Structure 1
Amino acid sequence: MLLTRVMFYAALALQTFSANAAYQVTVNQFVRHPALDMAYQGIIEGLRQEGFIENETVTFDYAVAQADMGTSLQIARQQVALNPDVMVALSTPSAQTTASVNKRIPMVFSAVSSPRHAGVHLQGNITGVSALSPIKEQIQLTREVFPTATRIGVLYNPGEDNSRYIVDLLEQSAEKHQFTLIKRSVTSSTQVSLATKSLIEDVDLIYLPTDNTVASALPVIIKIAQAQSVPTIGGTIDYVNQGALMALGFDFFDNGVQAGHLVAQILSGAKPESLPIQPTKGRELHINSSQLERLNVELPKAVQDRITKLH
């Protein structure tokens, strides 16, 4: 069934590409969730800013792997066969599968936490925009807001290279700020509810990493945490819109806009090897005011002065 879906995507793309003489871009997105969806919309916006308009001067073959590595690999192979002008990979798993079968076509990644740990940082036909959360600063902020808390919980998928790296950084920062990190691993979104209920009993706070499995089930985690009055700390500001108490970081839409600019430069003649991988620009502090009141959390003035946006 999955292979049939991939073949359908490819057939549709071939039909679209042949009907339009504009530039052709493929997009391999690992899973649907708001952060990756925003990154994709950001890519379209970044291209628009550079004069490449969807369905006018550029056409897209967009496919989602439903969080399945095998499907992502099949999508990548089908998209290579289309011989597009640029291949885009959204997320670490999609970047890895696309890079593994594509050594020739220019490729731009978005929403990849650590290109080095993903193994896509040295391939000459690849550039992109990294999306590593400012974990040190996030945990420092958490300590400012919760001076007496001792235990932070985190759910993550150990099958994602980016997630293992994030948790390693989280452990280092938690120890520095006198937190004990309590971990629960999940390998699919169906496991998240049970894992969250187990975790919630042992922690004062929950950190929500930019993990695809966690992001796909974020409403479940936040609902359980809210029912138990456990604050949630977002790995990205996009999570505050979904109910997290606070987050310090970047917007995945902006990450996508930057990646869209890279795609535009390649379509204009630049070579990927001449375009260095870049971090996501900007850093904002977003606070969920309703959760702040509900949890009866009082922000120190030094934190209040740094707020970029109250939701």
Structure 2
Amino acid sequence: MNLKSVLLAAAFFAVSLVVAHAEPKLISIASFGEHPALNQVAEGFKTRMTALGYVEGTDVTYDFQHANFDRSLIPQVLQQVEAKHPALILAITTGLNQAAVRGITDKSIPIVFGAVVDPVVAGIVPDWQHGSAWSTGASMLPDFDATFVYLKQVLPEAKKIGTLFNPGEDNDATNMKLIQEAAAKAGIEVVGVPVDNANDLPQRVQSFAGQVDGIFLIQSNIVQTAVPVVAQVAQRIKLPLFNSVFAPDLADQMAGFHAISYLKNGEHAADIADRILKGEKPADIAPYVPQPEDFDSYVSPKGLAAVGLTVPDALKDSPWILK
């Protein structure tokens, strides 16, 4: 081979390396369904990845798929995700993550979870200090001690608070355990009403009439996808309704929110994804536990007025007030 041929071959090899290096990494985002809160996890993730230096189209590309809140479609979604051989999967919600841990056969693909309350109880990670061999992420573990501090300021006379939960969901089981423990410390009784079918929600909300002083909705998929229905019934029976998910479009129907930020949850998931893409093993990364700054408190004067209540004097100048 003459010198010219050698130089041409070297140049071709160098160009090949540049092209290979420039190939963007595919990140698959798989969600249980499209919902404003769950979409915020994906939005927060992508925004934070950009801030961390991952330019979309150059360094990374994203593929988004969801199961339309239909459990029977989750295996199909995961098969489609795995077939694209992504560099990493962001899996949103507990049920979808549980299915991904079982159903993704290529264990070289790391899975970062978002919108999962308790990944330990769900069997996604072994404990709060470690990820599994291929999965870790950002949890949404609630702070119900802070929730009851908030509720006692908005409803100073409240003795009983109602909530709805799906007994078949691991997220809901953890939420109910934690809310009962926090309520006992706060001197408030929690009345939990089970619901495993969204069609039963109006009747179950109606059952709170005359039994509780207010309703607080936990992070339950079955409830959060039907909050407008719950709000209508709560207003009809004159009970103030509070949510653990901030929904500005429902501010006039809700008495208030003590809500974890789904946007920040996505940002924390991106921080973990960045560490994995840079070579850290998921097993060496502890799941993220929400801090006080990950929660927001709001009070809706219109929502309180709709059920015959007013903002307590002590809160009238509070930054919590929604205008």
TM range (shorter): 0.7 to 0.9
Question: Secondary structure, in 3 states, of the residue corresponding to 1:263?
Answer: helix
1:62–1:229 CA distance, 2 compared to 1 (3 A) = same
Is residue 94 of structure 2 the alignment partner of residue 92 of structure 1?
Answer: yes
State the one-letter code of the partner of 1:231.
Answer: P
CA deviation after TM superposition for structure 1 residue 308, in Å: 4.7
Match of 2:120 in 1: 116
Contact 1:76–1:101 (Cα < 8 Å) also in 2:
yes
Q: Deviations over 1:193-235 (max 9, x none)?
A: 2322233453221111111111100111112212332111222
1:55–1:184 CA distance, 2 compared to 1 (3 A) = farther
1:198–1:56 CA distance, 2 compared to 1 (3 A) = farther
**Equivalents in 2 of 1:104, 1:304: separation in Å?**
54
Question: Secondary structure, in 3 states, of the residue corresponding to 1:273?
Answer: helix
Contact 1:240–1:286 (Cα < 8 Å) also in 2:
no
Structure 2 counterpart of 1:178, from 174, 187, 190 = 187
CA deviation after TM superposition for structure 1 residue 162, in Å: 0.7
Q: Which moved more, 1:35-44 or 1:275-284?
A: 275-284
Structure 2 counterpart of 1:289, from 301, 306, 311 = 301
**Equivalents in 2 of 1:56, 1:310: separation in Å?**
40
Aligned residue runs from structure 1 range 164-175, under 5 A: 164-175=173-184
> Which structure's CA Rg is the greater one?
2
**Equivalents in 1 of 2:300, 2:248: separation in Å?**
6
Q: Aligned residues: percent identity?
A: 26
Is residue 31 of structure 2 the alignment partner of residue 39 of structure 1?
Answer: no
State the one-letter code of the partner of 2:114.
Answer: S
- Equivalences, count: 290
Is residue 250 of structure 2 the alignment partner of residue 242 of structure 1?
Answer: yes
Contact 1:154–1:207 (Cα < 8 Å) also in 2:
yes
Q: Which moved more, 1:169-178 or 1:121-130?
A: 169-178
Aligned residue runs from structure 1 range 1-311, under 5 A: 21-102=23-104, 103-122=107-126, 123-236=132-245, 238-239=246-247, 241-243=249-251, 244-281=254-291, 282=293, 283-294=295-306, 295-299=308-312, 301=314, 307-308=319-320, 310-311=322-323
Match of 2:16 in 1: none
State the one-letter code of the partner of 1:251.
Answer: S
Contact 1:113–1:133 (Cα < 8 Å) also in 2:
yes
Contact 1:234–1:240 (Cα < 8 Å) also in 2:
no
Superposition TM-score, scaled by structure 2 size: 0.81
Q: Deviations over 1:19-52 (max 9, x none)?
A: x941111122112222111111111111111122
Contact 2:206–2:237 (Cα < 8 Å) also in 1:
no
**Equivalents in 1 of 2:135, 2:268: separation in Å?**
15
CA deviation after TM superposition for structure 1 residue 278, in Å: 1.0
1:84–1:249 CA distance, 2 compared to 1 (3 A) = same
1:67–1:188 CA distance, 2 compared to 1 (3 A) = farther
1:93–1:195 CA distance, 2 compared to 1 (3 A) = same
CA deviation after TM superposition for structure 1 residue 304, in Å: 5.9
State the one-letter code of the partner of 2:202.
Answer: S
| Segments of 4+ moved more than 6 angstroms | none
**Equivalents in 2 of 1:258, 1:142: separation in Å?**
27
State the one-letter code of the partner of 1:90.
Answer: I
Q: Tell me the C-alpha RMSD between the 2 structures.
A: 2.3
CA deviation after TM superposition for structure 1 residue 287, in Å: 1.8
Contact 1:65–1:75 (Cα < 8 Å) also in 2:
yes
Q: Deviations over 1:228-284 (max 9, x none)?
A: 321112223x14552332223431111111112222333333332333211234133
State the one-letter code of the partner of 2:115.
Answer: A
**Equivalents in 1 of 2:25, 2:320: separation in Å?**
38
Contact 1:138–1:247 (Cα < 8 Å) also in 2:
no
